[in-house]
Amino acid sequence: MAGEEVTLTCTSPGRCNGSAPLITWSGVQGKNITYRMDYLDGNKTYYSNITFIPSRVDHNSSLSCTVTFQRSNATTSQQISLNVEYPPYINIAIKGNTTTEDTRITVLEGDSLVIECIVDSNPQANISWHDKDSLLRGPLNGELLTYELRNITSNDAGRYQCSAQNNHWIRNRTIDIIVHYPPYINITIKGNTTTEDTHITVLEGDSLVIECIVDSNPQANISWHDKDSLRFGPLNRELLPYELRNITSNDAGRYQCSAQNNHWIRNRTIDIIVHYKPREMSCVPSCCLEQSSKIKCQCIIMAFPEAITQWKVNEESYPSSYNKIDLQITTDLYGPLSISILEINVTQGYMPNIQCSSSNQQGELVIKLLNGRRTLRSSYTTIILAVVFAILFIAVLSVIGLSLIHYYRKRKLKQIAEKKTECSTDCKEIYRSTTVFFNEGYKPEGMPEDRAPADEEDERYATIIFPQRKPRASVEEVETGYVCGSTAAVNGTSMPVTFI
């Protein structure tokens, strides 16, 4: 038995009364002593004991004892083979590398691995592989037992034990398999955990905490991203929360948790959908425009989920799509943006009450676009038309009046001529000294210097001065008016008239 002290005896042959023989040992190292046994007849026998502790390297080795008689040089010997029984000696081989100690190995997830248990023992041992407390393979009587791991996952990490047992002993050796695996990400929302890309719907004004829980080896750096911008992290840990307070529609979108360790980078996303009630766009307001005999209104609304738009014209409701001769409504949706257009035919000067309303599950928005009164643009047009009509009316009356004056003056002059009466000196002097000025380079006498000149494109005037006649009013008291389309001839030139 290996490790246990043993004594072997070698005895010389026969009995004799001569000198003592020489007894020698070879094959092992040990302590040997020669003894003599005396008999009554005077003969003697010689023997030798060797004491040693065998090991497994002594198994199947040769041990010989040689007896030499010195006088005759006679020699005799005997040889035996040692059968040393010893406990199992275990080696573990990994990818061709053998270790005689408990060891550890690091592999990547997805790899495959074959571990070998090589046993040397006498008698031969039964070999088996164990994982924790469960039997994986064996027992098998022999010198080699393999165990294969295919497509390794994190579940394969742990301690594996090879056991070998023979008649006298049981021995074990272990290997720790460390599996490096990519980050596995879970996202927790309000206590609910998801292992997939997901989405959540919240209301505007809510608050929300989303947690990124990561399991990886080695530990990963975790960060939160919004679109292409970094929101929070990276931090080396297993949990990274991110909080959104008083959520608005601007917070809607895709949030991504990224985790990276020495070998991999993994991502998981959550889409936050924000529901909010309809509202107007500040950059493009809803409004109405008057186009000839038609009014065109647009109602531009942002809402999610999409809003239902309705129109009301003079307390009568219309849907978002309507098509008649005097009223057409079209509505287009572009995601949360709704653009609804109403066109209505109206008579000149008529202004209806128009409003649009949009509603979804979160609320309703009513926009009053027209209240039935003329807009500033319409009132201004009405005033202009009224003034034009009044001027035209005055101009017609003035032309008729001038025509009558001219007719009666001509008739009177004819009567004077027929009576062959000549104009007095004073009368001739009046007409001889009469001058005509208009606004193309002449200035009437007596006009103030600070009087603004007339705009040549808008106003033409003429002044007739009779020096020996008393004027009806001073220049400062003159009132003017415009006559659109009426003309008079001054010095042979046709031009609009300014009446003074």
How many domains does the chain contain in total?
Answer: 5
Residue 384: predicted pLDDT: 52
Identify whether 396 is part of a domain. Answer: yes
DSSP for 136-184, written as a single string:
EEEEEESSEEEEEE-S--GGG-EEEEEEEE-SS-EEEEEEEEEEEEEEE
> Residue for token digits 């049981």?
170
AA identity, residue 177: I
Residues 137 and 205 in one domain: no
State pTM to two decimals: 0.54
Residue 395 within any structural domain of the chain = yes
Q: Are 160 and 76 within one domain?
A: no
Write down which residue in 81, 99, 116 finishes a domain. 81
List C-alpha distances in Å: 190 to 69, 112, 209, 210, 375.
101, 40, 7, 7, 53
- Statement to judge: residues 228 and 145 lie in one domain: no
Q: In what order do the strands lie in the sheet with 353-360?
A: 316-318, 308-313, 353-360, 363-371
Degrees to nearest 5, angle at CA 263 with 262 and 266 = 105
Q: Quick check: is 185 in a domain?
A: no
Q: Are residues 174 and 268 in the same domain?
A: no
In a domain, 359, yes or no: yes
CATH number of the domain that residue 152 is part of: 2.60.40.10
Cα separation, 11 vs 33, in Å, equals: 12
Same domain, 172 and 272: no
- How far does Cα 322 stand from its chain's mean position? 39
pLDDT in tens, 39-56: 888 888 999 999 999 998
Distance between CA atoms of 386 and 389, rounded to whole angstroms?
5
User: For the chain, what's the residue count?
Assistant: 500
Residues of the chain with pLDDT under 70: 96, 191, 373-390, 392-393, 395-397, 399, 401, 404, 406-408, 410-500
Q: Are residues 152 and 259 in the same domain?
A: no
pLDDT of residue 117: 93
Residue 1 lies in a domain: no
Question: Could you tell me if 397 and 481 lie in one domain?
Answer: yes
The residue segments making up the domain with residue 171 are: 86-180
Tell me the C-alpha to C-alpha distance, in Å, between residue 287 and each of 3, 183, 184, 378, 382: 106, 54, 53, 15, 21
Domain boundary among 277, 301, 324: 277
Distance CA 82, CA 80 (A): 6
DSSP state of 411: H
User: Quick one: 203 and 176 in the same domain?
Assistant: no
Residue 348 included in any domain: yes
Domain boundary among the residues 354, 373, 392 is at 373
Please state whether beta strands 265-280 and 198-203 pair in parallel, antiparallel, or not at all (unpaired): parallel
In terms of domains, do 384 and 492 share one?
A: yes
The answer on 62 and 25 residing in a single domain is: yes
Q: Could you identify the residue written with the tokens 């950059």?
A: 283
Do 75 and 122 sit in the same domain of this protein? no
Is 130 among the domain residues? yes
pLDDT in tens, 154-173: 889 999 999 999 988 999 99
Neighbours of 302 (CB within 10 A): 20
Is 197 among the domain residues? yes
Say if residue 393 is in the same domain as residue 367: no
